[in-house]
Amino acid sequence: MRSIVQDKSNLFFKMLERDKTQWWDHWVFYTQTFKEIFDAYKKLLQIDPEDEKELVSRFTRPELDKLKQSWEERGGEVKLKTLKLLTAEDVELKLEKSWFVVYFMGGLGLETVSELLVGEGHVFFTDLLAFYRQEKLEQIPEIVLKRLEK
């Protein structure tokens, strides 16, 4: 059985293994790897290719390095707490657990949690960069729960 909480951020952070001049190429590879998700993400946020490239060009190595370090330090605890909150017996969610998944991913830093319709299910795209920029990494579990509660 699949977990309703999944960390898909590893490929995003691989960007840091490249020279900044290659970050756009890596971003394209990353978004093509999760094509359905990113197509829905860009459509929801109304991001055209020029805007997308501009937003990626604004990424900085210090910011992404700090985000990666923070996520490595806190990510395990955040994921576990999110899972516990979403599976608690007394919680009433707007969707059945079989109809959604929460993905922790690197996005464009625009929206903390985006609800995407992908195929027949819902993906709650949890943008680590947006949470980091708002200094709310530790608040991810509660914010995700609020988005899913009735």
Token pair for 93? 């969610």
Phi, psi of 131 (to 5 degrees): -65, -40
Each residue's pLDDT tens digit, 130-144: 999 999 999 999 999
Each residue's pLDDT tens digit, 5-23: 999 999 999 999 999 999 9
Single pTM value for the model: 0.94
Q: To the nearest whole percent, how much of the chain has pLDDT over 90?
A: 89
Residue 126: which H helix or E strand, with range?
strand 121-127
DSSP state string for 45-98: TT--HHHHHHHHHT--HHHHHHHHHHHHHHHHHHHHHHHHHHH-TT--BSS-GG
Q: Say how far apart CA 52 and CA 54 lie, in whole Å.
A: 5
The parent domain of residue 107 ranges over 5-148
Each residue's pLDDT tens digit, 75-102: 999 999 999 999 998 889 988 888 999 9
If one counts the domains in the chain, the total is 1
Q: Say how far apart CA 148 and CA 71 lie, in whole Å.
A: 22
- How high is the mean pLDDT of the chain? 96
Each residue's pLDDT tens digit, 100-114: 999 999 999 999 999
